[in-house]
Amino acid sequence: YLVYIRKNVANQIMKRLLTVNVITLQFLMAIAVNITGGIESVAVHLFHVVTLVTIASYSFQAVISFSLLTGVLLGSVYTLEHFGVLHHFPRYTDASMGIFGNAEATVFNSITTIAWIILVATFGAVIGSMIRQRENEILAERHRISVILRDLPDGILLVDRAGRLIFINPAAEYITGISSEKVLNRVFTPKEKIPEFSRIYDLLFTEPQAASTDLPVSGFPSFDYVVGGKDREHMFQ
C-alpha cells in the first residue's frame, strides 16, 4: 500500500514506514513459525512475501540485509526450540512424527530453509537491480529527447494511440496559446471538442486543404492546412 501511494508521500517518510512494517512483519512471521511447528512449519515460506516487498522497494544491499535478518530470526527460533528455551508446538498430532529427535535432520532442514530464503532474496535483488538500472537508462534517454524537442523552434505535439496528449513543447504552446499544464495527459477525440482547447483540436483533426499525395515519401504523405481565425491564422505542413 505504501509503495502504491508513494507519489503522495515524501520518499524518506515512506521508506521509514515501510522499513518498520517489514521488520515488524518478519518478527510476527517468526512467531507464526514457532507456534506452527518450528522447523516442521510450512509457514516459513511466508517470508517470501517479505522478500518480494523488499525487492520492489529497496536496494540490492537492503534486500540481502532483510533476508539475513530473516535467517537470524529463523535460526534463533529453531535453536531456542531445540534447547527448550521456547516451547515446541509440534506440527503433527503425534509429536513422535516430528524431526526434533534427529539432530542431523534438524540442522540440515534449518540450514536449507534459511539458505533458500537468502538465495531467493539474492536472485530477486539482482533482477530488481537490473530492472531499475534499465529504467534509469530509459528515463535518461527520454529526458534527453524531451530536452531536444522542448528547445526546437518548431511546434511539436505528441499524441498516443488513445488520443492522449503526452508532450507539447514551448513553441507549440505559443502557437496554440495554451499552456502545457492545461492539456498534458488530456484525451482528445474528434467527437468531443472543448472550445477552450479549440486550437489543439484544429491541429489534430483539421482535414488537409492541399494534400500532396504524389510526394515520394516512405511514410505518411505531407499536406498543408490552415488553423485559426483571422486574428491568429497559421499555415502548417
Please report, rounded to a whole number, the percentage of residues in the chain having pLDDT higher than 70: 76
Q: What's the confidence (pLDDT) of residue 162?
A: 85
The answer to whether residue 217 scores a pLDDT higher than 80 is no
For the stretch 162-177, pLDDT in tens is: 889 988 899 888 878 8
Q: What's the confidence (pLDDT) of residue 77?
A: 93
Average pLDDT over residues 11-28: 88
Q: Would you state the cell numbers that stand for residue 180, as one nine-digit string? A: 502545457
Radius of gyration for the chain, computed over Cα atoms and rounded to the nearest angstrom: 30
**pLDDT band of 127, cuts 50, 70, 90:** confident
Whole-structure pTM value:
0.50
Q: Which residue has the higher pLDDT, 233 or 113?
A: 113
The answer to whether residue 220 scores a pLDDT higher than 70 is no
- C-alpha distances out from residue 92 to 34, 81, 127, Å: 14, 16, 38
The 8-class DSSP code of residue 153 comes to S
Q: What's the confidence (pLDDT) of residue 226?
A: 64
